[in-house]
Amino acid sequence: MNRKEFIYKAALLGAGASIAPKALFAQNNDRLVILHTNDWHSHIDPFPVTDKKYPGLGGAAKRAALIKDIRAQNKHVLLLDSGDIFQGTPYFNYYGGELEFKLMSEMGYDYATLGNHDFDAGIGGLVKQLAHARFNFLCANYDFSNTLLDGKVNPYAISNKGKFKIGIFGIGIELEGLVPKKLYGEIKYKDPIESANETASLLKEKGCNLIICLSHLGYTYEDNKVSDTILAKMSRNIDLILGGHTHTFLSYPQGVFNKDGKEIFINQTGWAGVNLGRIDYEAHRANSSQILGFNYLNIL
């Protein structure tokens, strides 16, 4: 018996569990690993070692290596991004986002949402680079009718992984006043809370057992501006909000009670690809749910 197992069994005994231990040991098939980034802003190279704030941190090649390791250990991995992939280093000025999309495709990103800076080269500039993206963009609260993006961005997607039927959708920030009109053109912004709840409800109806919102609204604001925190409180059916825009470095996902009084989580990984977010979920039968919420699972 190794140490991990020992602690695990001790925990079980301590809890006086009458539930069969077998149900507690997560099989590979019962675990989903969600990896995510936001606002990586063309930071393809790591920060220089002399950087005062982020010495030697980040870098697409290091992120790729870590993702590969996690994939080697886990059968079900989802890799997501919450927008603002573009703009921030000369790579974007020189190559217009081509390399960013190529690298994300190579790392196996599944889905991303659009951030305000992803329009910095205009809708045309973004559409041009989509040829290099082997992952899909999702956004449920932008109406792309009469734009070049019409039909190229879906509101949501469903991904089946083992016991998980995951509904994923995107929510974008209001572009007016933030992005020059000539860059976002005829894109119409729709109320993010309404769009999010409608989409999440639809995904629930379609039988999703985990619903993820990729948001570029921002974590929280001093005023009443709509944010992930407000969305979380006003939401139904969403389990996890992976945010961006405010470049907020959270150390771990923040719990918020939604409109139904259920605790859901918000995470954001800062910016520039300094951190990779990771959140694991486990699938198990309803009757063993309490014990699986047990803290000792941290050790695994």
- The residues in 68-127 that bind another protein, with binding defined as CB under 8 A, are 68, 87-95, 99, 102-103, 106-107, 120
Compute the distance between CA of residue 230 and CA of residue 226 in angstroms, rounded to an integer. 6
Specify the stretch interacting with another protein by CB under 8 A; choose among 5-13, 142-150, 184-192, 273-281.
Answer: 273-281
Q: How far is CA 165 from CA 1, 67, 197, 284, in A?
A: 34, 22, 18, 13
Question: How many other β-carbons are positioned within 10 Å of the β-carbon of residue 257?
Answer: 11
Specify the stretch interacting with another protein by CB under 8 A; choose among 136-144, 198-206, 212-220, 262-270.
Answer: 262-270
Which residues 1-30 are close enough to bind another protein by CB under 8 A?
none
Burial of 87 (0-12, 13-18, 19+ CB in 10 A): buried
Does position 225 interact with another protein (CB under 8 A)? The reply is no
The site for another protein, by CB under 8 A, has a size of: 83
Residue with tokens 């077998």: 22
Got the DSSP string for 101-123? HHHHHHHT--EE---GGGGTTHH
Compute the distance between CA of residue 36 and CA of residue 212 in angstroms, rounded to an integer. 11
Which residues 29-68 are close enough to bind another protein by CB under 8 A?
31-32, 41-42, 44-46, 48-53, 55-66, 68
Does position 262 interact with another protein (CB under 8 A)? The reply is no
Closest CA to 276 of 80, 28, 49: 80
Binding mask 168-197 for another protein (x = CB under 8 A): ---------xxxxx----------------
- Beta bridge partners, 112, equal 81, 137
* Least distance in angstroms from the C-beta of 142 to another protein: 18
* Least distance in angstroms from the C-beta of 255 to another protein: 9
Which residues 192-221 are close enough to bind another protein by CB under 8 A?
209-210
Name the residue nearer to another protein (CB basis): 33 or 149: 33
Does position 239 interact with another protein (CB under 8 A)? The reply is yes
Binding mask 149-168 for another protein (x = CB under 8 A): --------------xx----
Residue type present at position 50: T
* Least distance in angstroms from the C-beta of 241 to another protein: 13
* Terminal CA-CA length for the chain: 14
Does position 273 interact with another protein (CB under 8 A)? The reply is yes
Residue type present at position 69: D
* Least distance in angstroms from the C-beta of 121 to another protein: 9
Name the residue nearer to another protein (CB basis): 14 or 55: 55
Q: Is 187 left (phi over 0), alpha (psi -120 to 50) or beta?
A: beta
